[in-house]
Amino acid sequence: MCGIAGIISRRHQDAIGPMTEVLAHRGPDGHGSYRDERVALGHRRLSIIDLECGDQPISDETGTLQLIANGEIYNFPQLRAQLEAAGHRFKTHADIEVILHLYQDHGRDCVRHLRGMFAFALWDAAAGTLLLAKDHMGQKPLFFVVQGEELLFASEIKSLLASGRIDTQPDLDALWHYMSLRFIPDRYTLFEGIEKLPAASTLLFRDGRVSIESYWSPSYRDKLTGSESEIAEELEELLLQTVKMHMLSDVPVGAFLSGGIDSSLVAAMMAKSSGAGFPTFSIGVKEQGFNELPFARMVSERYGLEAHERVVEADLIHLMPSMIYHLDEPSDPFGVGIYLVSEVASEQVKVVLTGDGGDENFAGYDRFAGQRLVDAYCLLPEWVRRQVMSRLVKLVPESFGYKSLAQKVAWVNAMSFHDHGGRYAHAMSFLRFTPEAKEGLFTGKARERITDGDSVGKILRYFDSTNVDELVDRMLYTDLMTRMPDHLLSIVDRMAMAHSLETRPPLIDYKVVEFAASIPSSMKLQGRDLKHILKVVASRYLPRELIYRQKQGFGFPLGIWMRTELRDFMRRLFAQSRFVQHGLFEAAAMQRLLEEHVSGKANHDYRLWMLINLEFWYRLYFENETVDSLRDLTDELMAPQRREPLRI
């Protein structure tokens, strides 16, 4: 894993130095660059394959092609053998060199032959073109800016900003969608003028013109016809092969081990593939009401793995500035666990395999089964749900805990007034900001500046796709095309790379995605049994009590903290809100959310978390604050306030 940056311009090429340097955390082992009269390329290296000769940029035999890449190509041994048999000659043993030779044979379609996680830039001096590409699921980040006949690109937004060539401000369309969806969709970023290259896409830049094409999308229409046991056998064989491919490395490889099904199965298959022990990394947090470490220990002891366990103290408010800096956008509670376990793992290894993707491929979230519960609830007449049940729901006391009963019953009732796609889209905003809530939060002047305000449409675009038939598959496909690349994978990449750690998720390999899409949905969600077919495979490797225990997310009592030790902090922060000062948010709306939460009238924990993060994000990127100065601000706002003596 590495960091890449580049400038296509006959001017300002000196900016490549600071652009590359700011990515040092992504590649602390070395750096390289290339310049000619039209392009400047920069690379930061985290050495994993071909430690001696794998420096970048890598050129072809004539020097006409120059390549910089981030990620790993897992099928490169097979590709290299095929290319050498066809007459190609290699200069290194680096996995990414196959991209150069594939490009010589296939041009832009070279990406269709790659199996891995990657973001790369390939300069073709003879054609005067730059090719940017991103892997099938969008595991590796890539951002770009087009300014006239110039193009700048980088692995992280902070690298683009370091060029000194970009004058930007918050993108209100992106902000509008983020407040509802929890992620930033499409090509948007929170910075006006800066775009992200979507998953499974290539960008060709020539003479100031940009062409973006998608090269892959899974289809859910052609279903396997075998028995459950036959399909489970095929799935097991594919997963074993994929896990083994993901272990390809010239440095030691470890694994995240949370105690859940997905990471436990990956670790178990790693043990079967390697026949030897390797390090695993698990964390517990003092604030969690449920400790998963004993379940992680079951797996490490069964397979003789080198377990590294640590109970950490999650100081979320002081971690927030660093997380925002590495994300270049507001942080998410999900990212805290990744950030902390990556810090532990980076002390021992450079590469870990993870269990990401199991829920999205095999229907592992409660909301998949929850849709059926809502269907049953809809047997009640609508007038009963609106006039009677809506009042009763409000009487359920709020515990302010993770997945509280009050939230669950309110969700079921609210979702009953929507159908299928609309229901799924509105479910995403239920704990964040609904369209109505955004109307109250954004000022009238800010709303007038929004040109793309249909957040629901960002979800329906995939939910209503013609390549999916069944309801469960529609939800899975939507998640894989939206939440997976724009939320989960981006957070995992940035939180791990903050500690110079490469993460590899075998369960989101595109071959696994395609196979999972072909499994009948009844084998993924069987009644209320989530991830049924994956559990069948897992039962051959893991203890039953681990597989069939209640799903436990990695969470914190945010709602309770916000009513106690964070209460005054939020009041003081919101009193000096930059979003209010600049006319974007209504002060009264922010104040109402806070006071309703503190009084116990409603649980606004996720909404308040987003607002806190946005305040820090704005100061970090538009007021030249630093991570350290924001921590100092946090201490100042958290400190007990002295009361001035009364003067008569």
Write out pLDDT tens, residues 336-369. 999 999 999 999 999 999 999 999 999 988 888 8
DSSP 585: B
Summarize pLDDT for 388-400 with one digit per residue, the tens: 888 888 878 877 7
Summarize pLDDT for 191-233 with one digit per residue, the tens: 999 999 999 999 999 999 999 999 999 999 999 999 999 999 9
Per-residue pLDDT, averaged over 622-644, amounts to 86
Does the pLDDT at position 622 exceed 60? yes
Q: What are phi and psi of 176, to 5 degrees?
A: -60, -45
Question: 3-state DSSP call for residue 146?
Answer: strand
Question: 3-state DSSP call for residue 336?
Answer: helix
- What pLDDT does residue 643 have? 44
Q: Give the ranges where 110-171 is alpha helix by DSSP (H).
A: 157-161
Confidence class for position 553, pLDDT limits 50, 70, 90: low
When mean pLDDT is compared across 183-192, 383-392, 465-474, 611-620, the lowest value belongs to: 383-392
Question: Cβ–Cβ contacts within 10 Å for residue 528, how many?
Answer: 12
Does the pLDDT at position 565 exceed 50? yes
Residue 261 tokens read as 């099904």
Using left for φ > 0, alpha for ψ between -120 and 50, and beta otherwise, residue 531 falls in: left
Cα 570 from Cα 612, distance rounded (Å): 7
Summarize pLDDT for 160-185 with one digit per residue, the tens: 999 999 999 999 999 999 999 999 99
pTM of this prediction?
Answer: 0.94
User: Is the bond leading into 485 cis (omega within 30 degrees of zero)?
Assistant: no
Cα 354 from Cα 267, distance rounded (Å): 8
Cα 404 from Cα 603, distance rounded (Å): 10
Does the pLDDT at position 642 exceed 70? no
Cα 489 from Cα 504, distance rounded (Å): 10
Report the candidate in 175, 102, 148, 138 with the shortest Cα–Cα distance to residue 8: 148
Question: 3-state DSSP call for residue 212?
Answer: strand
Does the pLDDT at position 644 exceed 70? no
Cα 327 from Cα 203, distance rounded (Å): 23
Residue type for 599, please?
S
Distance of CA 71 to the CA centre of its chain: 15
Residue 521 tokens read as 């949905």
- What pLDDT does residue 312 have? 77
Does the pLDDT at position 154 exceed 80? yes
Residue 14 tokens read as 């000196």
381 or 254, which is more confident? 254
Cα 364 from Cα 366, distance rounded (Å): 7
- What pLDDT does residue 54 have? 67
Per-residue pLDDT, averaged over 118-138, amounts to 97
CB 135 within 8 A of CB 200: yes
Q: Judging by DSSP bridges, how do beta strands 150-154 and 143-147 pair with one another? A: antiparallel
When mean pLDDT is compared across 230-234, 299-303, 465-469, 639-643, the lowest value belongs to: 639-643
Summarize pLDDT for 486-541 with one digit per residue, the tens: 999 999 999 999 999 999 999 999 999 999 999 999 999 998 899 999 999 999 99
Does the pLDDT at position 598 exceed 50? yes
Longest dimension (CA), the chain: 94
- What pLDDT does residue 557 have? 80
Residue 80 tokens read as 């290299």
- What pLDDT does residue 631 have? 95
Report the candidate in 84, 77, 30 with the shortest Cα–Cα distance to residue 53: 30
In order, the DSSP letters of 568-635 are HHHHHHHHT-HHHHTTSB-HHHHHHHHHHHHHTS---HHHHHHHHHHHHHHHHHHS---HHHHHHHHH
Mean pLDDT of the chain: 92
Does the pLDDT at position 53 exceed 80? no
- Residues near 227 by Cβ (< 8 Å), separated by ≥ 6? none
- What pLDDT does residue 550 have? 74
- What pLDDT does residue 648 have? 32
Confidence class for position 278, pLDDT limits 50, 70, 90: very high
- What pLDDT does residue 646 have? 36
Distance of CA 133 to the CA centre of its chain: 18
Q: Which domains does the chain have, with CATH numbers?
A: 2-214 (3.60.20.10), 228-363+478-547 (3.40.50.620), 383-461 (no CATH), 558-638 (no CATH)
Report the candidate in 373, 388, 469 with the shortest Cα–Cα distance to residue 423: 373
Task: Encode 226-265: b = buried (16+ Cβ within 10 Å), e = exposed.
Answer: eeeeebbeebbebbbbbbbbbbbbeeebbbbbbbbbbbbb
Summarize pLDDT for 446-458 with one digit per residue, the tens: 999 999 999 999 9
Q: Give the ranges where 39-153 is alpha helix by DSSP (H).
A: 76-85, 97-106
Residue 333 tokens read as 């509670």
CB 584 within 8 A of CB 170: yes
92 or 276, which is more confident? 92
Cα 280 from Cα 253, distance rounded (Å): 9
Summarize pLDDT for 397-445 with one digit per residue, the tens: 877 776 778 788 888 888 888 888 888 888 888 889 999 999 999 999 9
Does the pLDDT at position 647 exceed 60? no
